[in-house]
C-alpha cells in the first residue's frame, strides 16, 4: 500500500521532533499503522533551517498554503501555533478534505467548536493528543480508556514551564526570571511565555479536558485563570512547613451549584498535601489525576513539553488517523468523546460560587487584639479555621506573618472577609490567598 502523505506546517521545536522521530522509528511505525507514513512536504518561514533539518528527505516550502492546497497531501500537521494563520490553515485543510493533527491548544480552546463542526461536516478527523500534557496520552485515556465512567473531576499539572519554575525556585532558591529564561531555552515555553506564567496555557488544556470529560462544548471564555506571577517564595516555604506543596493546577470538576449540576473550570496556584503523588511531580513533568465513578482515581504522568515528548503524541495521532482513515466517519471516536448531537449544556460555575479551602497569609502589627479581630471577621463570614500558624517576629521587628488555613468556604465569602481584614489598621498590605485541594 502507498504510504500516507503528510504535510507539516512549522518545523520548530515540536515539528523538528516529529520529523526526526518519524524517520528514526519509521519501520516500527509502519508495522503499527499498517502503512508507511511519509512527511512529503514541510512549510516553514525559515526555509534554510527547515532544509537543514530535513536534509533533502522532503520538499521544503515557505508558503504553508502550498501544503494545504496540495491534492497529494492526506494529513496536515499544524505546528505553527497561535490562532491567526493557524486557524485559517486548519479550516482550509479541512475544507480540502484533509485530516488534521495539531498540538495547538490555544487554537482548539478558543475555536474548537467551529473547527470540530467543520471536520464533522466534512467527514475528516482533527486529532490533538499533543495539545494537552505533551507526551502523556491523556486525551486517549479520557476519551477512550475511561469511556465507561462518569468522570467526577480532572485535576492536573498541565504546564511544564510553570512547574519547572516552581520546582527550581523551591529547590535551588533561583529567581523567577532566570528560571523562566531556562524554560524558554529548553523549548518548554510558549512563543508568548505570559501564556505559561499567567495560567492561560493551562486553562486552554483544562478547557479541552473539561469538554471531553463532561461532554460540553469548549468554553475557554468561562474558565477562571490565575497564574504564578504573584506567588511569593515565602508562601512556597510556609506551605512546606504546613505539609503542602504549591502547584499550578488545572481543575475541571462536576459539582452541585444552587441545586443544579454544574462544572467548575479553573486554573490557579493550589496547595496540595505534600504526601499526594501529584504533589511530587517536579520540573517540566506533567501529571493528570482523573476521578471516575467506576475506576476511582487514575494518575497519568510524563513529559508535558519539549520536542520529542510532544512529537510522540503527534505521531500517535498520525498512526490513529492512518488506521481509521478508511473507517466510516460515523464509527470513529467523536472529537470530544460524546456524539456531537449528545452534548450537554451543563453550565460553568462562576468563580465567586466555587467552594474550596484557603491558605490566607497576612502581615500584621505584633500587638494585642490583632488575632481576635481577624478571627472575628472570619467567624462573621461563617468561615471555619482549620489550622493557624503565627511566626515569631524577627529580632527588633514589630511585624509578623499570620497564616490561616480554612475549611471549605465559598470564594465570595473569603473575598469579602479579605476585604474587611485589609481595612484593619493592624493588617499591613494585601492578604495573600491561595486555594487548597485535598485531591482525594
Ligand atoms: P516553535 O515556535 O518552535 O515552532 C513554530 C514554527 O512555525 C517555527 O519554525 C516558525 O518559523 C514556523 N512558522 C511560523 N509562522 C509560520 C507560517 N505562517 N508558515 C509556516 N511556518 C510558520 O513552536 P513549538 O514547536 O514550540 O510549538 C508548536 C505548537 O505546538 C504550538 O501550538 C504550541 O503551543 C504547541 N506545543 C508545544 C509544545 C512544546 O513543548 N514546545 C508542547 C505541546 C504543544 P519561525 O521560527 O521562522 O517563526
Ligand atoms: N508551554 C507549554 C508548557 C508547552 O510549558 O507546558 C506544552 O504544552
The confidence score (pLDDT) of residue 325 equals: 84
Position 291 pLDDT exceeds 90? yes
> Which superfamily does 354-436 belong to?
ACT domain (3.30.70.260)
Q: Which of 189-193, 197-201, 263-267, 351-355 is predicted least confidently? A: 189-193
| The predicted structure's pLDDT at residue 393 | 81
Q: How far is the CA of 158 from the centre of ligand 2 (A)?
A: 8
4-127 is classed CATH 3.40.50.720: yes
Name the segment(s) of the chain with CATH classification 3.30.360.10: 138-302
- Kindly report, residue by residue over 57-94, the tens digit of the pLDDT: 999 999 999 999 999 999 999 999 999 999 999 999 99
The pLDDT value recorded for residue 396 is 82
Ligand at shortest distance from the CA of 130: 1
Q: Which is the CATH superfamily of the domain at 138-302?
A: Dihydrodipicolinate Reductase; domain 2 (3.30.360.10)
Distance separating the N- and C-terminal Cα atoms of the chain: 50
The number of the ligand nearest the C-alpha atom of 109 reads: 1
Check if 205 is active-site.
Answer: yes
pLDDT of residue 75: 98
What residue ranges of the chain are covered by domains with CATH 3.30.70.260?
354-436
pLDDT, tens digit (0-9, with 9 covering 90-100), for 295-352: 999 999 999 999 999 999 999 999 999 999 888 888 899 999 999 999 999 999 999 9
Note the pLDDT of residue 391.
82
For ligand 2, mutation pick of 108, 129, 132, 134 (most atoms within 8 Å of CB): 134
**Torsional class of 306: left (φ above 0), alpha (ψ -120 to 50), beta (otherwise):** left
Residues of the chain with CATH 3.40.50.720: 4-127
Point out the catalytic residue in the list 205, 247, 253, 303.
Answer: 205
% of the chain at pLDDT higher than 70:
100
Look over the chain and give the mean of its residue pLDDT values, rounded to a whole number: 96
> Is 90 exceeded by the pLDDT of residue 395?
no
Say yes or no: CB of residue 79 within 6 Å of ligand 1. Answer: yes
Is 304's C-beta closer than 6 angstroms to any atom of ligand 2?
A: yes
Amino acid at each position: 500500500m502507498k504510504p500516507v502523505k503528510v504535510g507539516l506546517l512549522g518545523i520548530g521545536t515540536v515539528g523538528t521532533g516529529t520529523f526526526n522521530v518519524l524517520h528514526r522509528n519509521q519501520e516500527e511505525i509502519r508495522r503499527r499503522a499498517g502503512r508507511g507514513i511519509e512527511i512529503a512536504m514541510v512549510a516553514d518561514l525559515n526555509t534554510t533551517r527547515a532544509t537543514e533539518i530535513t536534509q533533502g528527505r522532503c520538499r521544503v516550502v515557505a508558503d504553508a498554503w502550498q501544503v494545504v492546497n496540495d491534492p497529494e497531501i492526506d494529513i496536515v500537521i499544524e505546528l505553527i501555533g497561535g490562532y491567526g494563520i493557524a486557524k485559517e490553515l486548519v479550516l482550509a485543510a479541512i475544507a480540502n478534505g484533509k485530516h488534521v493533527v495539531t498540538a495547538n491548544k490555544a487554537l482548539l480552546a478558543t475555536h474548537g467548536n467551529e473547527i470540530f463542526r467543520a471536520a464533522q461536516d466534512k467527514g475528516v478527523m482533527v486529532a490533538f493528543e499533543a495539545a494537552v500534557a505533551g507526551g502523556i496520552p491523556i486525551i486517549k485515556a479520557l476519551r477512550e480508556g475511561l469511556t465507561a465512567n462518569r468522570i467526577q473531576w480532572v485535576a492536573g499539572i498541565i504546564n511544564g514551564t510553570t512547574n519547572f519554575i516552581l520546582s527550581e525556585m523551591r529547590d535551588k532558591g533561583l529567581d523567577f526570571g532566570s528560571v523562566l529564561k531556562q524554560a524558554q531555552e529548553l523549548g518548554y515555553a510558549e512563543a508568548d511565555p505570559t501564556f505559561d506564567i499567567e495560567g492561560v496555557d493551562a486553562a486552554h488544556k483544562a478547557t479541552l479536558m473539561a469538554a471531553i470529560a463532561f461532554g460540553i462544548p469548549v468554553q475557554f471564555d468561562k474558565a477562571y485563570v490565575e497564574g504564578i506571577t504573584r506567588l511569593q517564595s515565602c508562601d512556597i516555604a510556609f506551605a512546606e512547613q504546613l505539609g503542602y506543596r504549591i502547584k499550578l493546577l488545572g481543575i475541571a470538576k462536576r459539582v452541585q451549584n444552587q441545586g443544579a449540576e454544574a462544572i467548575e473550570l479553573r486554573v490557579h496556584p493550589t496547595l496540595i498535601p505534600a504526601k499526594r503523588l501529584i504533589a511530587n511531580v517536579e520540573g517540566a513533568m506533567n501529571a493528570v489525576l482523573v476521578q471516575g465513578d467506576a475506576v476511582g482515581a487514575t494518575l497519568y504522568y510524563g513529559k508535558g513539553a519539549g520536542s520529542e515528548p510532544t512529537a510522540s503524541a503527534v505521531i500517535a495521532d498520525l498512526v490513529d488517523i492512518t488506521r481509521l482513515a478508511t473507517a466510516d466517519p460515523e464509527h470513529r471516536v467523536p472529537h470530544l468523546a460524546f456524539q456531537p448531537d449528545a452534548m450537554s449544556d451543563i453550565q460553568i460555575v462562576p468563580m465567586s460560587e466555587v467552594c474550596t479551602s484557603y491558605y490566607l497569609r497576612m502581615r500584621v502589627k505584633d500587638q494585642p487584639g490583632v488575632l481576635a479581630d481577624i478571627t472575628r471577621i472570619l467567624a462573621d463570614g461563617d468561615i471555619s479555621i482549620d489550622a493557624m500558624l503565627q511566626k515569631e517576629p524577627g529580632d527588633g521587628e514589630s511585624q509578623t506573618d499570620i497564616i490561616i488555613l480554612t475549611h471549605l468556604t465559598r470564594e465570595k465569602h473569603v473575598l469579602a472577609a479579605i476585604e474587611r481584614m485589609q481595612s484593619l489598621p493592624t493588617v499591613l498590605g494585601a492578604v495573600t490567598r491561595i486555594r487548597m485541594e485535598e485531591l482525594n
